Chain A
C-alpha cells in the first residue's frame, strides 16, 4: 500500500460521494456535495506536485533551492487560494439556498416539489418551460 494509492483512492471516494450528493434534489445536499468535490479537487491539484514528506517549501540557506529538497510550491499556492474561494462559493450558495427557500417555501433545487406530485419528467419539463415564460 503506497501513499500514492491512498491519495488517489481518497480523492476518488471524495469525488464519488460529492457527485452523488451533487445530484440530489435538496439545496443543502448539493452544497455538501460541492464541499466534498472541493476537497477532492484541492487535493488533486496539490498532489500534482507529487508526494513529498518533510520538505515544506520554506527555503533554508543550507539546502539547495531545487525540487530535490523541497516540495513544489506552485500547486500549493494555487490550492491555498482555491480553498478560500471554495469557502466563498459555499457561502454564496448557502445564502441563495436560504433566500430561495424563503421565496418558494421549499428547499428543492428547482424551487418546486417534484417528487410529491408524482409528475413525470415531461410534465416537469413543461412546468419548467411555463416558469421560464
Chain B
C-alpha cells in the first residue's frame, strides 16, 4: 500500500476525527472555534484530494485495506478511481464553501458546534460511500448519510416541519437503505465476494443469474429513494426545512447524488440489460417531468429549487438508464454541472432569505435594485439551470438531447424520449425564468419586514466561485473539466470510452434546435402563465406523496397496536396459553414430518415391581395435585411426594449428585412455600361463571396434549442410541480436573463459566426476594414486620427448637464433609451449601427470628457477595499464571487426621459456589419468615400455619 493509497483512508477518517476533536475541545456556543475546525477539516480534505489527483487522473486505482470480518467477506478498505475521486472532490470542495457560507448564515441563537459537527459527520459518511471498496462497507456509510441527513434536517428541532421532514427523509432513505442491503447481499452471493473490484468484474455472471432481477430492483430501490426519484421524490421538498447550507450541500450537491453515484458505480455490474433500461429510463423520465412541472408552481424559493433538483436527478438517472457509454459521460458531466449551479442557487436563495426574511416569491419582487450583485450571480446560475449557452448546464443538456435522439430500438421510446426531454427542458426554462423574474424584477417587494441589502462580503464568495466555475466550464469545457470527466466516466463505464468532443459549438444540429426551441417555448410558457393566469394566485399543493406516506405510517402503527392489543390483553392466562400452544405446535413438527418416529429402534431396560410402584406414586401424586390444588397445605404434601419420587429416580438411574441436590432443594422449596402460604389464601378461590367451566375443559385438553406430546418425545428419544461428548469428560476428569466425580468436575472446572453465571443468578434471586419483601414491609403498614417474626421463641415447639439447635453444628460438619469430598465423590458446593442452609432455616423457623437475631449477627447477604467474589477471583487468578479465565490446577496435600485432600483451585471456586448457595437460600427464606401477619388479615390467611401455633 503506497502513501497515496493510505491517503484515501486518512481522507475518510479525517472528518470523523475532526468532529470528535471539536466535541471534546470546543464549547457548544463557540462559533469561531466551530467554523475554524470545520474549515480546517474541509480544506485538509481538499488538499488530500488534490494531492491524490495526479495519480488517479493518470488512470491508477488507489487501494487501501485492512481485514475487518474476513468470515463474512467484510474488509475495511477504500478504493479510489476516477469516479470516486471526482465525487470526493465535489464533497470536499463544496463542503469547504458551505462551511464558509454557513459561518455567516447561522443566526446567533443557533448552536454552531452542533451544526458544523453534524456537517463534518455527514462529509465523512459521504466520502465513505464514494470510497468504500466493499459493498457492505458502502451500505454502512450509506446508512450513515441517512442518519446524518436526519440530524441536519432536524437541526432546528424546535420547528414541527423540521421534525416531520427529518422523519420522512429518514424513513424513506432508511427503508431504501434496507432494500439496498438486501440487494447487495444478493449481488455478493452471486459474485462470490463483496469486494468492489470482484463485483465490477463479474457483470456477465450477475446479469445471467436467475436472481439478477430481484437484486437489480432492490439496489435500484436504494438508489431511487436516496436520489428522490418518482414516486419517492416527496421527501426532498420536505427536507428543505433544513438550514439552507444543508440544502445546498446535502440536498443538491452531494447526498442526493449518492443514488446516481451508485447507479454509475454499479453500472458495469448491473447495467447493460433490458430490465435496467426500462426501469431506470422510465423512472428517470417520470421524475424529470414531474419535478420540472411542479417546480413552476412553487412559490417558495427553496421549494422551486427542490423540485428542480428532483427533475435534474431524474435527467441524470435517465441518462444512466439509456445504457450507452456516451450517455454515461453526459450523466457524469451533468452531476458536476448540477452540483455547481444548484449549490450556488441554493446559497443565493439562502442569502435572499437571510437579508429579506422571506422566501415567498409572492412577496419577493424587484430585488435587483437592492442586491444587484447577488442578482447577477443568481441570473448566471439560473441560466445554467435552464441550459442557456455559455453556461455549463447548456453543454450537458445538449449531450442529453443528443443521447435521447441517438437511442435506437425499443419502438415508441425513440419518440417518447426526445419528446419528454424537450417538454422537461421547456418547463425548466419556465421555472428558471420565474426564479429570476419573480424575485429580482416584476414590481416591488410586498410586505417585507426589512429593507433588503447585499450580504456580507464572504457570504457571497462561495456563490461567486461556483458561478465562475459554471462560466469557465461553459466556455472551455475540454480545458477545465475534460480530464476529470474522462477519468470519472471511464471508471463508471468500466471500459475504454468511445470518441467524444467536449466543446461549446458542435455546429447546427438537432440538439441545438431542441435547445433553442426549449428556450423560446419556456419563456413563452412562463410569461404566458404570468400574464393570463397569474402564477401568484395558483395554490398548488402537491401533497399526494406526503399524504400517502402519513397514511401508510398511520396504518402500520395502527396494525402494530392492534396486533399488540390482540396478543397482550393484560391477562397472564392468555399469554401462558399462547406460549404453551405454540410450544406444543413446535414440538409436534417432527411427528408430523415423519410418521415412523414411534417405532422402537433400540432395546429397552425391563422394569420390575419396585420401579412400577415408585412410578405409580409419582404419577398419582402429580395427578392428585391437579385435583386438590385449592387445598394448599395438602397439595404441598403431594408435591413433596412427587419430588421425592424424582429423587428416587435419580438415585436409581446413577445420579447420586442429582439425588442429593433434588432432595435438599425439595426440602427448601416446600418449607419456603409453606412459609409463603401465610400470606396467601389457604384455599384457592375457584373461578366462577359460565366461561370458567369451559376454560377448565379447554386447559385440561391443552394440558393432556402437552403431556402426551412431551412424553412421546422422550419415549422416541430414549429408543435411540446415544451419541455424546461425554467420553471427553470421563477421560479427562481425573487427569485434567483432578477429581473422580465427573459431574462435580464439570460444574467447577470444565463448565465453570456456566456455573459462575448460575450462582450469579442464584445470588440475584436471593436479593430480589429480600428486596421485594423488604420494600413491601416498609410500604404497607398492614404487613409491618418486627424482628421477632411471628413465632417468637421456643413456644411453638420446644422439642423442635431444641433439636434444631443441636442439629446445627452437626449439619455444619456434614456440610463441610460433603464439600471437601465433592471433587471425588457425590457432594460439592451446591449440595454442601444446601445442607447448611437447611440446618440454618430449621433453627430460624423453630426458634423464631427474634431468638436468632439476638444470638447470631450474621448478614447472609454478605455471603452472596463473598461467594461471587471468591468464584470470580479464582477465575481471574488463572490470568496471573498466563492461562485463560477459570483454568484450574490441583494438588493433593495431606492434612493430618483427614488424609489426602484434593486441593484444586477449582475447590476455591467451589467455595464461592458454597457461600453463594448458603447466602441466597438463607436470605430468601428468612426474608419470608420475617414478614409479620397483621391482626386485620382474614383468619383464613393464617390457617395454613395454624398447626405450628
Bound form: Cα–Cα A57–B703 in Å? 35
What distance in Å separates the Cβ of A57 from its nearest Cβ neighbour in chain B? 4
What distance in Å separates the Cβ of B362 from its nearest Cβ neighbour in chain A? 46
What distance in Å separates the Cβ of B904 from its nearest Cβ neighbour in chain A? 15
A20 touches B646 (CB 8 A): no
Residue B510 lies at the interface, judged by CB distance under 8 Å to chain A: no
Q: Return 9 A-B CB contacts under 8 Å, by A number.
A: A3-B604, A13-B622, A24-B699, A50-B718, A57-B743, A88-B766, A94-B928, A128-B571, A129-B569
Quick one: given A6-B607, A95-B927, A128-B570, are A17 and B711 in contact (CB under 8 Å)? no
Residue B204 lies at the interface, judged by CB distance under 8 Å to chain A: no
Chain A, Cβ-Cβ closest to B723: A67
B706 touches A15 (CB 8 A): yes
A77 touches B680 (CB 8 A): no
* Residues of chain A with a CB closer than 8 A to B580's CB: 19, 22-23
Bound form: Cα–Cα A13–B163 in Å? 59
What distance in Å separates the Cβ of B598 from its nearest Cβ neighbour in chain A? 11
Bound form: Cα–Cα A32–B772 in Å? 20
Quick one: given A3-B607, A39-B646, are A94 and B572 in contact (CB under 8 Å)? no
Quick one: given A20-B703, A24-B629, are A51 and B718 in contact (CB under 8 Å)? yes
| CB under 8 Å from chain B, chain A span 30-47 | 30-32, 35-36, 39-40, 42-44, 46-47
B: number of interface residues (CB 8 Å):
123
> What string of 1s and 0s marks CB contacts (under 8 Å) between A1-13 and chain B?
1111111111111
Which one of A22, A48, A51, A85 has the highest number of Cβ atoms from chain B below 10 Å of its Cβ? A22
Chain B, Cβ-Cβ closest to A4: B718
* For the complex of A and B, 3 pairs with smallest distance between CB atoms: A128-B570, A12-B711, A16-B707
What distance in Å separates the Cβ of B885 from its nearest Cβ neighbour in chain A? 19
Quick one: given A4-B605, A35-B639, are A17 and B707 in contact (CB under 8 Å)? yes
Quick one: given A3-B606, A67-B726, are A76 and B572 in contact (CB under 8 Å)? no
Q: Which of A1, A49, A124 contacts B722 (CB 8 A)?
A: A49
Quick one: given A9-B619, A17-B625, A19-B706, are A43 and B649 in contact (CB under 8 Å)? yes
Residue B679 lies at the interface, judged by CB distance under 8 Å to chain A: yes
* Residues of chain A with a CB closer than 8 A to B734's CB: 59, 65
* Residues of chain A with a CB closer than 8 A to B925's CB: 91
B825 touches A20 (CB 8 A): no
A88 touches B920 (CB 8 A): yes
Interface residues of B, dominant DSSP? helix
> What string of 1s and 0s marks CB contacts (under 8 Å) between A82-101 and chain B?
01111111111011111101
Bound form: Cα–Cα A22–B395 in Å? 78
Q: Which stretch of B17-25, B324-332, B541-549, B776-784 is in the interface?
A: B776-784
A85 touches B699 (CB 8 A): no
Bound form: Cα–Cα A102–B570 in Å? 20
* Residues of chain A with a CB closer than 8 A to B824's CB: 58
Q: Which of B639, B741, B772 contacts A96 (CB 8 A)?
A: B772
A92 touches B769 (CB 8 A): yes
Q: Which of B568, B571, B710 contacts A44 (CB 8 A)?
A: B710
Bound form: Cα–Cα A1–B612 in Å? 9
Q: Which stretch of B238-246, B336-344, B457-465, B654-662 is in the interface?
A: B654-662
Bound form: Cα–Cα A99–B776 in Å? 6
> What string of 1s and 0s marks CB contacts (under 8 Å) between B721-748 and chain A?
0101111011101100000111100110
Residue B871 lies at the interface, judged by CB distance under 8 Å to chain A: no
Chain A, Cβ-Cβ closest to B718: A4
A102 touches B672 (CB 8 A): no
> How many residue-residue contacts, CB under 8 A, span A and B?
364
Bound form: Cα–Cα A46–B643 in Å? 15
What distance in Å separates the Cβ of B803 from its nearest Cβ neighbour in chain A? 25
Q: Which stretch of B267-275, B688-696, B875-883 is in the interface?
A: B688-696
| CB under 8 Å from chain A, chain B span 577-603 | 577, 580
Quick one: given A23-B576, A58-B742, are A67 and B762 in contact (CB under 8 Å)? no
Q: Which stretch of B423-431, B498-506, B750-758 is in the interface?
A: B750-758
B570 touches A65 (CB 8 A): no
Residue B924 lies at the interface, judged by CB distance under 8 Å to chain A: yes
A79 touches B658 (CB 8 A): yes
Bound form: Cα–Cα A88–B646 in Å? 19
B740 touches A13 (CB 8 A): no
A85 touches B724 (CB 8 A): no
B604 touches A2 (CB 8 A): yes
A81 touches B754 (CB 8 A): yes
> What string of 1s and 0s marks CB contacts (under 8 Å) between B55-76 and chain A?
0000000000000000000000
What distance in Å separates the Cβ of B30 from its nearest Cβ neighbour in chain A? 45
A74 touches B725 (CB 8 A): yes
Q: Which of A13, A26, A39 contacts B684 (CB 8 A)?
A: A26
A19 touches B655 (CB 8 A): no
A59 touches B776 (CB 8 A): no
Bound form: Cα–Cα A14–B839 in Å? 30
A77 touches B604 (CB 8 A): no
Residue B408 lies at the interface, judged by CB distance under 8 Å to chain A: no
* Residues of chain A with a CB closer than 8 A to B712's CB: 8, 12
Which one of A19, A25, A85 has the highest number of Cβ atoms from chain B below 10 Å of its Cβ? A19
> What string of 1s and 0s marks CB contacts (under 8 Å) between B915-940 and chain A?
00100110011011001000000000
Chain B, Cβ-Cβ closest to A112: B570
* Residues of chain B with a CB closer than 8 A to A132's CB: 570
* Residues of chain A with a CB closer than 8 A to B718's CB: 4, 7-8, 47, 50-51
Chain A, Cβ-Cβ closest to B670: A35
Residue B669 lies at the interface, judged by CB distance under 8 Å to chain A: yes
Q: Which of A13, A54, A57 contacts B707 (CB 8 A)?
A: A13
| Contacts A59-B740, A65-B731, A67-B722 supplied; 13 other A-B pairs, CB < 8 Å | A1-B607, A4-B715, A12-B709, A24-B573, A29-B629, A35-B639, A47-B717, A74-B746, A76-B743, A77-B743, A77-B746, A99-B773, A118-B688
Chain A, Cβ-Cβ closest to B927: A95
